Chains A and B, each alone.
Chain A
Amino acid sequence: MFRHYLLPDISQPGKVGCTLPPLDVPPAEPPPKELLREELALPEVSEVELVRYFTALSRLNYGVDTGFYPLGSCTMKYNPKWHEDIARLPGFAWIHPYQPIDSVQGALKLMFQLQDYLAEITGMSATSLAPMAGAQGELAGIKMIKAYHRERGDKGRRKILVPDSAHGTNPATAAMCGLEVATVPSDDKGNLDLKALAAMMNDEVAALTLTMPTTLGLFDPHIAQISQLVHERGGLLYGDGANLNSLLGKVKFGDLGFDCVQLNLHKTFSTPHGGGGPGSGPLCVKSNLADFLPSPLVVKNDKGYTFTSPAKSIGSLGAAYGNFGVMVKAYAYLRSLGAEGLKAISENAVINANYLKEKLKAYYHLPYDRTCMHEVVFSGKRQKAKGVRTWDIAKRLLDYGFHPPTIYFPLVVEEALMIEPTETESKETLDAFISAMREIAREAEENPEILRTAPHNTPVARLDEAAAARKPDLRWELS
């Protein structure tokens, strides 16, 4: 059993966690006293205690290396180990963003090629690697769309259309860009309601944001009509590339009519998610938007590679050039695959998801019974009738040694269970997960209490989230 303690609990005056060299220059005049800090109340911990503490914490965590992590829409695939070594090479990890451009030509070449490869993969004409996560890529994309309309003197476009199945970032991004959000419903097959879209599409609409495949794990077969409806009324089509994993090497966003798409290198391109980040959210656009891309872009001229800012750029998104360390890993991934390798990824991801769908649909309600793409969305409503919530199913999965799927999203599915196996899982792993899910379905019938009180085998039992929000305890204090 894990003994709970925090850094202040192992802090003792006089302990040190590392050593530093003595001062090798004559000391300077001290600064004015009023600038100086009196107390610096940080813990004092020895290195060995520090290592044991964080090692113990790591063992309370579940990662892709621990086991199956079918978190829908998050693409928790395996992260190749050698990519970590490459990103740590001094020539990548220890270069300063403002050192002379001639001294970072290797880094710029890597960025230049990555821009190109991502444009090719998405069927777009230009890429900015500046966004540091998918949501920042979205922010940049919507800002560009706003700038595009403004530039054309088309000033009345103050709305963004967002499907009811969309990620929360889509409406939140629109609001951050000072735009209003209007929600487009889905139809009974899980596709965008074309009639509703036609009725809503007018000269007040700046863009439709669309995740493809949708967050229901479905490819909307009417994509060409959607694109036409949006464009013929002067709007643009923004692609949320969160689910690109199912289209890699098969389908290009640009061909589908998208003007712009943001990618998530920490999902599709296998860079580890780090327990919540860092990510990288490159933005790929068609030529109509290229001049508005966030700064900087890497270009090649006769002297080599250099940075440039597009003519009508929406500006910069950070103090440097994006999350370079993440780009290195994504680049390594891409180069190890080639076009055929990419295609193998999407095909295997889609086979795995459809296999789970077939094997589980007799046990859980399947709201849209059709071929899915890289993920499948079930509903826990059959179990809900027995007094068991999706929340309970998720917690019970932890007892079986699996990370639960995404739950209660998308919002359009009652008690949603969104399962994304990814291509890096074997049939054996999927079969074990299927057995666990079937067993849980049986427990929901026969012994619902065991689900409602789950998890039972984790370092802590079910946590009181309501109490946490009611009386926020967000830090310790040490004096």
Chain B
Amino acid sequence: MPSPYLPNTDADRSAMLREIGANSADELFYDVPAQFRNVQFKLPPPLSELELKRELEELAKRNASLDDYVCFLGAGYYRHFIPSVVAHLTSRSEFYTAYTPYQAEASQGTLQATYEYQSLVCQLTGMEVSNAGMYDGSTAAAEAALMAHRITGRDRVAVLATVNPRYQAVIATYVRDQDISLEKMEPNLDSLPSDCACLVVQQPNFFGYFEDLRAHARKAHDSGALLIVIVDPISLGMFKPPGDYGADIVVAEGQALGSPLSFGGPGLGIFTCRREYLRQMPGRIVGRTVDRNGRPGYVLTLATREQHIRRERATSNITTNEALVALAATVYLAAMGKKGLRQVAELCYHKAHYAARAISELKGYRLVFPQPFFKEFVVRCPVAPQQINQALFEEKIIGGLDISHLVDNGMLFCVTEVNTKGEIDRLVKFLGEL
């Protein structure tokens, strides 16, 4: 079947092969030893756009989309409202069909938007510098731990037990082959051992409640370690940013800022730090400069940290990142602005507290942690959370995350601004009837 993505005709190909001096396309592959060439590939037959669209739409319908289900699930990936401008602007194909902005003069759109991104993210986290982004929140946390190891020269990474277990697992994957030991610490630790490179904490933590960041910062700094904070960027619309507590590196999952869930990817690894550590940062950074006529413009800068220049001495091997998701975050933050982001955070806060209170008043349910929380909270259920979730699913409700392996009959609920009072009341009603 002719392909809409192959513009050359048979006549074009013949003319080109004549110019090349070859009799067939296959002749151009003669460097490949004959036994490896033109082997069989067992793949399904090609389908037209219309046929395949139908098939994929059918496949999509076999998933329970949050457009059709009420959702109280979070744990690092969140459903927040996305203004339509975000998708419209990120769908400008000058943005999404461009490569990494190596040729600055033809890439000012991406570069200036990234400069905006870096600025907005610093304003949000209270940190001094940001890179252009990492793969996701968990790999940003892992790269932060490696960066702390480079800065301090120490081989021990301390992670609080209240950090998202999936993040802990990714940090473990990343540090394993560098002879760095990973240690889990309880949040009430008195002090940090003197040979730790960093203390990794999450704010609000995996269980939804706020850590004593001031105390953690003191403990980390007293022992000469860096404080790495994993943060929920939406919470920063309302709550004090980690920069105010003296954090050295702040990372976050940026999906919540204007991107759909997409089954967990693509996400965005927000990565910010104190200016003194700039040259140890992984990933791309955009800087402002001038052109030869003195007009402002933007370029990729400080590239001597990166793999294509520094090779085995680079700060990371990362190259492709999540630029388009960072663009979505930029448009989202600009659209929300000062008032909007605060309002989103406040809506989350009040609705989550309304839900937590109503659930905890049900017979057999109680809140597990007494500390202040933002939009997530852990409930101890009277029966196995899995059983509850199955029943809720019948009612087109996706319940909280089953964390019974961490907290006896524990379920981690998440409530955001997209959950209406009606939805919360319905959840509470069904929980009460179980």
Contacts and interface: CB of A to CB of B under 8 A. Distances in A.
A95 B261 contact: yes
22 contacts: A16-B339, A20-B81, A31-B210, A31-B349, A40-B124, A41-B123, A94-B260, A135-B317, A143-B173, A169-B307, A169-B308, A221-B31, A250-B39, A275-B327, A276-B132, A277-B321, A315-B173, A319-B164, A354-B16, A358-B20, A398-B105, A463-B105
B328 to A, nearest CB: 10
B421 A25 contact: yes
B98 A273 contact: yes
Contacts of A96: 66, 71, 73, 77, 79, 261, 263-264, 398
Given A25-B354, A50-B335, A463 B265 contact: no
B324 to A, nearest CB: 3
A135 B317 CA distance: 6
B170 A316 contact: yes
A178 B177 CA distance: 6
Contact of B177 (A146, A320, A334, A478): A146
Contacts of B93: 63-65, 272
B130 A18 contact: no
B6 A474 contact: no
Contacts of A6: 112, 115-116, 119
Given A23-B347, A321-B265, A355-B19, A425 B7 contact: yes
Interface string A76-101: 11111010101111111111111110
B73 A336 contact: no
Interface string B137-174: 11100000010000000000000000010110110111
Given A315-B176, A427-B12, A348 B6 contact: yes
Contact of B319 (A133, A178, A294): A133
A95 B291 contact: no
Interface stretch (A194-202, A230-238, A282-290, A322-330): A322-330
Interface string B365-386: 0000000100000000000000
Most A-side CB within 10 Å, residue of B81, B91, B312, B347: B312
Contacts of A429: 7
Interface in B392-406: 393, 398, 401
Interface residues on A, range: 35 or more
Contact of A133 (B26, B285, B320): B320
Nearest to B121: A475
B89 A338 contact: no
Contacts of B389: 100
Contacts of A84: 91, 96
A319 to B, nearest CB: 4
Contacts of B351: 23, 25
Interface string B242-266: 0010000000010000001111111
A168 B61 contact: no
B65 interface: yes
Given A17-B340, A23-B350, A251-B32, A95 B65 contact: yes
B317 A138 contact: yes
A219 B31 contact: yes
A404 B103 contact: yes
A111 B381 CA distance: 34
Given A272-B97, A406-B102, 5 more contacts: A276-B323, A348-B6, A352-B8, A358-B21, A458-B106
A241 to B, nearest CB: 14
Contacts of B362: none
B429 interface: no
A465 interface: yes
A26 interface: yes
B129 interface: yes
B31 A218 contact: yes
Interface stretch (A339-347, A377-385, A438-446): A339-347
Contacts of A4: 295-296
Contacts of A359: 19
Given A65-B93, A250-B32, A403-B106, A468 B288 contact: yes
Contacts of B333: 42
A5 to B, nearest CB: 10
Interface in A336-395: 336-345, 347-348, 350-352, 354-355, 357-359, 370-371, 373, 394-395
Given A23-B347, A139-B317, A279-B320, A462 B292 contact: yes
B426 interface: no
A84 B292 CA distance: 39
A432 interface: no
Nearest to A341: B46
Given A17-B335, A473-B289, A319 B52 contact: no
Contact of B59 (A26, A110, A134, A354): A110
B187 interface: no
Given A43-B337, A460-B108, A469 B264 contact: no
B199 interface: no
Interface string B232-245: 00001111110010
Interface string B1-20: 10111111000110111011
Contacts of A458: 105-106
A58 interface: yes
A28 interface: yes
A156 interface: no
Most A-side CB within 10 Å, residue of B44, B263, B347, B372: B263
A162 to B, nearest CB: 8
B342 interface: yes
B363 interface: no
Interface in B267-289: 267, 278, 284-289
B313 A350 contact: no
B393 A100 contact: yes
Interface string A402-420: 0110100100000000000
A90 B116 CA distance: 29
Nearest to B424: A25
Interface stretch (B189-197, B216-224, B297-305): B297-305
A107 interface: yes
A310 interface: no
B215 interface: no
Nearest to A337: B46
Contacts of A426: 7-8, 12
